[in-house]
Structure 1
Amino acid sequence: MLVASFFCVLTLDSFAQAPATAASPNLETAPKGNSKISGIVLDSAAAKGVEFASIALFNVADNKAVDGTTADETGKFAITKVAPGSYKLLISFIGFKDKTINNIQVEKGKDIDLGSVQLASSVQNLQEVTITGEKSLVEEKVDRLVFNAEKDITSKGGDAADLLRKVPMLSVDLDGNVSLRGSSNIRVLINNKPSTIIASNVADALKQIPADMIKTVEVITSPSAKYDAEGSGGIINIVTKKNNLQGLTLNIDSGVGNRGTNLGLNGSYRKGKMGFTLGGFGRAFYNKATSVLNQTTFSEGGSFLTNQSSNAKDRGLFGQYSLGWDYDLGKNQALSAGLRYGTRNFIQKQNLTINQFENDVLSATSQRKVDRKDLSGTVDFNIDYIRTFKPQQEWSISTLYSRTGLTNNFNTDLLSQSGAVSGKLKNENQNYNSEFTLQTDYQTPIAKNQMLEFGAKGIFRTVNSDYKYLTATESGDFTLSTTNPSGSLNYNQNVAAGYVSYSLTTKNKYTIKAGTRYEFTGITADLGEQGKISIPNYGNLVPSINVSKALSGSTTVKAAYNRRIQRPGIQQLNPNVNLSNPQSITTGNPALSPELTDNFELALSTNIKKTYINASVFARQTNNSITQIRMAVDTLQGAVVTTYQNIGKQQAYGMNVFANVYLTPKWTLNGSIDILHSYLEGQAMSREGTSVPVSNSGFNYGGRLMSQISLQQGWGLQAFGFYRGKEIQLQGTRTGFYMYSLGFKKDFPNKKGSIGFAAENFLTKGVRFTSDLTSPQFVQTSQTQLYNRNFKITLNYSIGKMSFDAPKKKTKSVNNNDVMGGGDGK
């Protein structure tokens, strides 16, 4: 209701107000004519339009403002009904130096086209324009918040998950799972491109991206109709560093720490119309953890207690290698292609001790040594073409083929009380996820302040999984298990989509972006010899509207509504039963259906002297929500199985406040506070095996704080702290955790590189968190201690001769923000 009222106010206000200008209140007394002064305002460094720049027209005779306007989203402006005379034009925008154009002589009936007017950045003059650092850190757009990541120090040698912990509205847990305003049902894109490995596991995909190669992080809280309807919580687009350099460049980036080591090598070569890029990044980590689980299950015969403890050593190696090519076919055409390979190798060696009590009497003790391997290799290949007919009128066609092979295996040695191997158990789980996407988009201006976009897209996706269990004696060969499950999943999903979107920028500084998208999803699935799964096809109409209003000074207010759908991903669908821990079993659910979410948002951003503030309130309603469900196992006493189901309903509302302040021109302090209330409602199993209603609700609090100081002679210092509070789940809670870091760097005198040092969680051994779950069938408490105290040294160095050239045309690319990733899947 609040959002609807806001929309009404915006609509009435847009008709009631006179055109906003940069002139004085007495503009109506200025003489009018029939001439026009027009032009386009460009950023001199980026050669792109400066949207919403202020233009004021002054009469030279008395130096008074007689008219004015603001530039549109592309930097274009026009002042009409100008009387004959001598004028000067003042163009200004926050973060740029003012530009004055003198000696404008207007003759009766003759228009004046000023062409391109370039504004120079004032980023080096922080004492005079204190807001410049603000704009370089956070940028507000009608449907997203853009966080500039280029100045981060402590993330050197880290990965994307380390950096995303510092972005407003985002929360990243210790495993790297990302949530936006409390929802983990989000899409993560890399340079507007998806990958099948992201669809399978977001947390692991983020470990493949070096933090210091990230330029910006775009948090799209209210995606327009142009984006896939998937991702009920929103979209995160990670933009890596690019350049338009002529010549050969090479950048070496490395870091060594007691918990992780990384090495990156990136090069580019460009001559004339053709360019090549080649990149490689590898990161190894080594960690250890201990955990304790106390689990009590209830039955008609009494209670059954499981007490287990474990210690584990984790080893991981993540890599990403890419080859890019682009070519300017002509003045208005561009072609690009890319090949990327990502690898993930995670190995865990765990010692597990299990004590079982029946009615408070010890009934069994067992020990296991578990070797777990999660391995994957992903290949992405894309070809993109764009044709520009005139400014802002363009047509593009994009293709993408992705294929990921995943291996999730474990080997278990069953030990006797003496510690000797008494038996062996092996689970082999092979998964393949492939997809082909064809997409075309067209956009055209239908007036100087209006834009029309429409397009179509097809995704053809195949998911296959083959899994089996093998057993052996202490010295015998492995044979197929007759008691543990084996099987397969063949899952085909085809998505056909079309959209239309309309944008309007008014003279009184409103920006309205509205559209709708229709997606039809067809699914066929079977479990091999066990037969087909009945999953109906479905179609969804998903509207969206975003409205922003630039108020006085540098204040912007926004309102948005959108509907999103969330399809299950391979982690939720895979029916393989993981029995590496026989008392805590996990499996997927291939019969999951999608969830549907309605999102509402109100936001305000402003500058108060040297402080930038962004505040937002939001609410969402999700039906058929996909979440984790835990239940007791009838055939295995004391065991609890974790799977995924479509629960009935999930509601959330909350707020986020982010602020950045320049304490001095070289000392910044920024942070944010997050408050979220969640309510979940679904079904659980009773002790008698019947379905009973269950619900849970509560608040979650979180925040982050970062301070950075630029010192003399190239020295820099940065401190960071992060806290995530208690997380509400359908059947319980998970306690919060905190992380902190301190780092410094020293730039080399020739600005070719830097050396740095960072320490993370250095005052404690690591991070400890607990999970408390309850149900009519069981009570479970678990505690995990991660020993992630880390010290690292980083080195960055660039070589090569380079010269700047005009920016090349940007080709569009496929955005499959389309399926649910790994993590909790709430």
Structure 2
Amino acid sequence: MKNITIILFLILATPIFSQYKNKMSQRPKVEVTGTVIDFDTKLPLEYATIVLTPLKGKKLTGGITDSKGNFSVEVPKGSYNISVEFISFKTKTFQNKILTANINLGVIPLKINAESLNEVEIIAEKSTVEIRLDKKIYNVGKDMTVKGGSASDVLDNVPSVSVDVEGNVSLRGNDNVRILVNGKPSGLVGLSGTDALRQLPADAIEKVEVITSPSARYEAEGTAGILNIVLRKGKALGFNGSVSANIGEPERYGASANLNYRTKKVNFFTYLGYNFRTSPGNAFTDMIVYDNLDAIDYYRNEKTDYNRERKGINSRFGIEYYLSENSSITGTFLYRNSDGEDIGTNYLDVLDNNLLLTESSIREELETEDDKTIEYNLNYTKDFNKSGHKLTFDFQYNESDETEFNFIDDNTTYPSFEQEADERITTTESNKELQIKGDYTLPIGENKQFEAGFNLNFEDLTSNYLVEDETIDNVTGEIISGVFANNTNLSNSLDFKQDIYAFYIQFGNKINKFSYLLGLRSETTERSIKLIDSNEEFNKKFTELFPTVNLGLELNDTESITLGYSRRLRRPRHFFLNPFESRTSETYIRRGNINLDPTYTSSFDLGYLKKWDKFTLNSSMYYQYSTNVFEMVQDEEYREIDGEETLVIIRTPINFGSQNRYGFEFTANYNPFKWWRISSSFNFFKSEMEGDYNGISYDNDDTSWFTRLTSRITLPGKIDWQTRGMYMAPFESALSKRKSMTSVNLAFSKDILKEKGTLALNVSDLFNSRKRRSDSFSDNTYSYGEFQYRERQISLNFTYRFNQKKKRERQGSYDNDGGDEMF
């Protein structure tokens, strides 16, 4: 109430001092300016109070900050005590300030005043998307369509990001995007990638940051850019939190709790969740095989039904200890354990060129999987007395273990029933990763800033692939049921080590309305691959420099332009390097390339931001030039399968040629009425590939685009209705053509129990249309296929908050552009 009282005092005191108006107006005046931010979140504080008390005289002068945290107060020359205040924050005071000329107090961070807080946390209802000059921020809490969902569902709703039906994440149509958790690589997205994202609950995520032109402080991995997943961590005083439960069809259920307890010196926070879900899916492929004269030889039609079950526990525990007012140490422990059972039943029909059935078979694959991840984090932060002067150290260690067992039962059903030898495949992967990171920030004067830091990353991964075939009696030719032998032609073991040593410096400056941030990063990579069975070892070491340039120009309070350049790379993961064959089927084989080198990309990004009263538009044009590109190429060969010569397709990655990518995108927020909000994003991109392999040209020129539209309407009875639609246009590569895809999500939400509880009904993929449909080509084949990983999902989610209270956001604050955070 203190700052409210001062505002009222300033208003009511005006008539009392009006007699001095003419006299004071004749004295020379100076302008006092600055920016007020939250010390913890670094976000601007709107409506903070600035009070100037003259050392001589009794007239108070003051003002309040705008939506960007900026203030400007004009006062007569003289000596003043200046105080900056905001409810529940500690007051910042400047004593005995002699004002003889215009002065900028710079960025003023205010810290939370723990003594003034009670045990009620105010939870702001942020909009789904915040637009900043350097990035876009997607706030998860406001999006009803991901309630009870996973991190994969969250990413699929983020501007500029698309997630295909198999869970592969792309940024601006480029699948080489670096995914971080709390600003660092994490075991949460380590070994299994897409499966790991499906296991991380949406309830554990606070926001996702989309960074398309990263500065030098970020690692150079990821030619498309960076997606930073920020996990929830409460800060309110006392004990508070929320619990959630969900149930759905196809069968799914889960429960989670976000808890927080804070004293003056210690903050405890935790997330604990359990989920069980089934994901029925389906696929089919119709293939035509041609002979050497390009005439149809035969038809091969496959249909697969998937029944998946997965359950898991996700937990995160953390302690933040405040060593002093300016320093703290935070430790977190993460544990995830999930297991699943998938059954895939494949029905195969082979027809001759007259469409007469010649062979049928059923191949059933039972897959069980067990994943475990343990992660330890330790962070030390020191804020020096000078605003923005900061030192941080991070230590992170994680272990991930994944065991996958596949049992394949293959039987011929036509023209006669024949039981084929069963097959067992066991894959075990163990990964250990250590990261040590330090960052130092030094403000120089009011508008300059120097940064330097290092990042050491050590990764050690072991992969074992065991293939066992059911034994066949050499005399009778009959299968010896239950007796398996190692298939040494396919089984293999690999040890992969990769150490990265990175250092960076960068310097930023703001000159009036123009800002620049220049950086240089060096990364040395040492890679070692050992084939354990043959005792062969392949080592590579390379050092590269990665310059970054980010420029910004504020044309006015509502309009700005940014220009960014960065050089980045794509290192091949271990599964791209493993030279042994791994099979998704007997006729479709994948093989790695142990000599694969990184891809290097130079990216340019030109952005334009414009704000109106009810409308915000953030648009950008981008261009990326990549060299040493590695892509999958396709070979064909005939192998004996079940006693017959059969065409087998082999895919492997190679480095070849170069690629140009350029495009245009925009994100828009529109608030036509208090009860209706609309947000949309659009991305248009073009890709040009040049390269040859084995005399085959892989030159490709393709154009595609995708768009999303989200509408949120408040219905009578304070029921929120949210609809999100997505359209992905057709796309063509050198080997395939992907057809368009459309999907719609629908959700309704209602606050109950005096706004302590929220009930949300969510329908994912309302029209059951989220399917990959594609045509594929090779020298001797043409095929058309459809794949649907997960069918339509309906879920009901309930959240209950205790010692928390909702606060409706202020009009217009949802599209804050963060224009002053140039660096």
Say yes or no: TM over 0.5.
yes
- Residue 145 (structure 2) pairs with residue 180 (structure 1): no
Once residues 779 and 106 of structure 2 are traced to their aligned partners in structure 1, the CA distance between those partners, rounded to angstroms, is 75
Once residues 580 and 178 of structure 1 are traced to their aligned partners in structure 2, the CA distance between those partners, rounded to angstroms, is 21
Name which of 386, 406, 426 aligns with 2:424. Answer: 426
Which runs of 5 or more structure 1 residues have no equivalent in the other structure? 1-30, 61-67, 93-100, 121-132, 685-689, 805-826
Instruction: Check the 8 A contact 1:249/1:802 in 2, yes or no.
Output: no
Number of the residue aligned with 1:541: 545
| Aligned-pair Cα RMSD in Å | 4.0
Q: What is the letter of the counterpart of residue 425 of structure 2?
A: N
**Shift of the alpha carbon at 1:268?**
1.9
Alpha carbons of structure 1 residues 486 and 69: separation in structure 2 relative to 1, 3 Å: farther
RCO comparison, higher one (Cα < 8 Å, 6+)? 1
Alpha carbons of structure 1 residues 531 and 591: separation in structure 2 relative to 1, 3 Å: farther
- Residue 398 (structure 2) pairs with residue 396 (structure 1): no
Number of the residue aligned with 2:594: 590
**Shift of the alpha carbon at 1:401?**
0.7
Q: How does 1:78-93 map to 2 (within 5 A)?
A: 85=77
- Residue 240 (structure 2) pairs with residue 249 (structure 1): yes
Number of the residue aligned with 2:655: 646
- Residue 326 (structure 2) pairs with residue 332 (structure 1): yes
Number of the residue aligned with 2:506: 501
Once residues 371 and 675 of structure 1 are traced to their aligned partners in structure 2, the CA distance between those partners, rounded to angstroms, is 41
Name which of 258, 263, 275 aligns with 2:255. Answer: 263
Instruction: Check the 8 A contact 2:28/2:77 in 1, yes or no.
Output: no
User: Structure 1 residues 429-438 or 211-220, which shifts more?
Assistant: 211-220
Alpha carbons of structure 1 residues 674 and 91: separation in structure 2 relative to 1, 3 Å: farther
Number of the residue aligned with 1:770: 773
**Shift of the alpha carbon at 1:440?**
1.5
Once residues 172 and 658 of structure 2 are traced to their aligned partners in structure 1, the CA distance between those partners, rounded to angstroms, is 17
Once residues 500 and 53 of structure 1 are traced to their aligned partners in structure 2, the CA distance between those partners, rounded to angstroms, is 36
Q: Deviations over 1:690-733 (max 9, x none)?
A: 44322222111210111112345442111111111223333122
Q: Deviations over 1:300-352 (max 9, x none)?
A: 59856533222221222344211111111123221111111223434321121
Once residues 290 and 334 of structure 2 are traced to their aligned partners in structure 1, the CA distance between those partners, rounded to angstroms, is 51
User: Structure 1 residues 703-712 or 220-229, which shifts more?
Assistant: 703-712
- Residue 481 (structure 2) pairs with residue 476 (structure 1): yes
Alpha carbons of structure 1 residues 775 and 269: separation in structure 2 relative to 1, 3 Å: same
Number of the residue aligned with 2:189: 198
**Shift of the alpha carbon at 1:236?**
0.7
Instruction: Check the 8 A contact 1:747/1:753 in 2, yes or no.
Output: yes
Instruction: Check the 8 A contact 1:207/1:318 in 2, yes or no.
Output: no
Which runs of 5 or more structure 2 residues have no equivalent in the other structure? 1-24, 55-61, 85-92, 113-123, 472-478, 641-645, 808-823
Q: What is the letter of the counterpart of residue 505 of structure 1?
A: K
Q: Deviations over 1:210-235 (max 9, x none)?
A: 32443322110001101111010000
Q: How does 1:154-233 map to 2 (within 5 A)?
A: 154-233=145-224
- Residue 620 (structure 2) pairs with residue 629 (structure 1): no
Number of the residue aligned with 1:682: 691
Alpha carbons of structure 1 residues 761 and 153: separation in structure 2 relative to 1, 3 Å: same
User: Structure 1 residues 279-288 or 31-40, which shifts more?
Assistant: 31-40
Once residues 337 and 762 of structure 2 are traced to their aligned partners in structure 1, the CA distance between those partners, rounded to angstroms, is 26
Once residues 184 and 695 of structure 1 are traced to their aligned partners in structure 2, the CA distance between those partners, rounded to angstroms, is 19
Name which of 663, 687, 690 aligns with 2:672. Answer: 663
Alpha carbons of structure 1 residues 118 and 491: separation in structure 2 relative to 1, 3 Å: closer
Q: What is the letter of the counterpart of residue 502 of structure 1?
A: F
Instruction: Check the 8 A contact 2:36/2:107 in 1, yes or no.
Output: no
Instruction: Check the 8 A contact 1:204/1:344 in 2, yes or no.
Output: no
Number of the residue aligned with 2:16: none
Instruction: Check the 8 A contact 2:634/2:650 in 1, yes or no.
Output: yes
Q: Deviations over 1:95-135 (max 9, x none)?
A: xxxxxx9xx99765898979969899xxxxxxxxxxxx999
**Shift of the alpha carbon at 1:536?**
2.5
The number of residue pairs the alignment matches comes to 735
Number of the residue aligned with 2:436: 438
**Shift of the alpha carbon at 1:803?**
13
Q: Deviations over 1:43-83 (max 9, x none)?
A: 5797856399999999x9xxxxxxx999999979899xx99
Q: How does 1:11-410 map to 2 (within 5 A)?
A: 40-43=34-37, 48=42, 50=44, 85=77, 136-259=127-250, 260-296=252-288, 303=297, 305-356=299-350, 364-390=359-385, 391-410=387-406
Number of the residue aligned with 1:20: none
Instruction: Check the 8 A contact 1:247/1:803 in 2, yes or no.
Output: no
Q: Deviations over 1:719-760 (max 9, x none)?
A: 111111223333122223121122111101422111121223
Q: What is the letter of the counterpart of residue 476 of structure 1?
A: S
**Shift of the alpha carbon at 1:429?**
1.2
Q: What is the letter of the counterpart of residue 219 of structure 2?
A: D
Task: Look up the SS of the partner of 2:207 in the other structure.
Answer: strand
TM-score (norm 2): 0.81
Q: What is the letter of the counterpart of residue 467 of structure 1?
A: Y
Q: What is the letter of the counterpart of residue 240 of structure 1?
A: L
Number of the residue aligned with 1:572: 576
Number of the residue aligned with 2:801: 798
Number of the residue aligned with 1:719: 723
Once residues 211 and 462 of structure 2 are traced to their aligned partners in structure 1, the CA distance between those partners, rounded to angstroms, is 31
Once residues 712 and 139 of structure 2 are traced to their aligned partners in structure 1, the CA distance between those partners, rounded to angstroms, is 14
Once residues 282 and 511 of structure 1 are traced to their aligned partners in structure 2, the CA distance between those partners, rounded to angstroms, is 47
Alpha carbons of structure 1 residues 203 and 419: separation in structure 2 relative to 1, 3 Å: same
Once residues 536 and 504 of structure 1 are traced to their aligned partners in structure 2, the CA distance between those partners, rounded to angstroms, is 39
Alpha carbons of structure 1 residues 651 and 90: separation in structure 2 relative to 1, 3 Å: farther
Alpha carbons of structure 1 residues 348 and 472: separation in structure 2 relative to 1, 3 Å: same
Alpha carbons of structure 1 residues 498 and 483: separation in structure 2 relative to 1, 3 Å: closer
Alpha carbons of structure 1 residues 767 and 136: separation in structure 2 relative to 1, 3 Å: closer
- Residue 518 (structure 2) pairs with residue 514 (structure 1): yes
- Residue 696 (structure 2) pairs with residue 692 (structure 1): yes
**Shift of the alpha carbon at 1:600?**
0.8
User: Structure 1 residues 176-185 or 783-792, which shifts more?
Assistant: 783-792
- Residue 481 (structure 2) pairs with residue 486 (structure 1): no
Task: Look up the SS of the partner of 1:630 in the other structure.
Answer: strand
Name which of 456, 459, 481 aligns with 1:458. Answer: 456
Number of the residue aligned with 2:821: none
Instruction: Check the 8 A contact 1:294/1:305 in 2, yes or no.
Output: yes
Instruction: Check the 8 A contact 2:38/2:45 in 1, yes or no.
Output: no
Alpha carbons of structure 1 residues 533 and 622: separation in structure 2 relative to 1, 3 Å: farther
Once residues 373 and 268 of structure 1 are traced to their aligned partners in structure 2, the CA distance between those partners, rounded to angstroms, is 36
Q: Deviations over 1:441-483 (max 9, x none)?
A: 2111122101100111211111111112111156633433346
Name which of 769, 780, 784 aligns with 1:781. Answer: 784
Instruction: Check the 8 A contact 1:678/1:728 in 2, yes or no.
Output: no
Name which of 731, 737, 745 aligns with 2:735. Answer: 731
Number of the residue aligned with 1:704: 708
Instruction: Check the 8 A contact 1:709/1:718 in 2, yes or no.
Output: yes
Q: What is the letter of the counterpart of residue 691 of structure 2?
A: G
Number of the residue aligned with 1:123: none
Task: Look up the SS of the partner of 1:591 in the other structure.
Answer: coil
Once residues 358 and 806 of structure 2 are traced to their aligned partners in structure 1, the CA distance between those partners, rounded to angstroms, is 75
The percent identity for this pair of structures is 24
Task: Look up the SS of the partner of 1:571 in the other structure.
Answer: helix
Once residues 128 and 696 of structure 2 are traced to their aligned partners in structure 1, the CA distance between those partners, rounded to angstroms, is 49
Q: Deviations over 1:651-701 (max 9, x none)?
A: 2111112211112012111112211111223334xxxxx443222221112
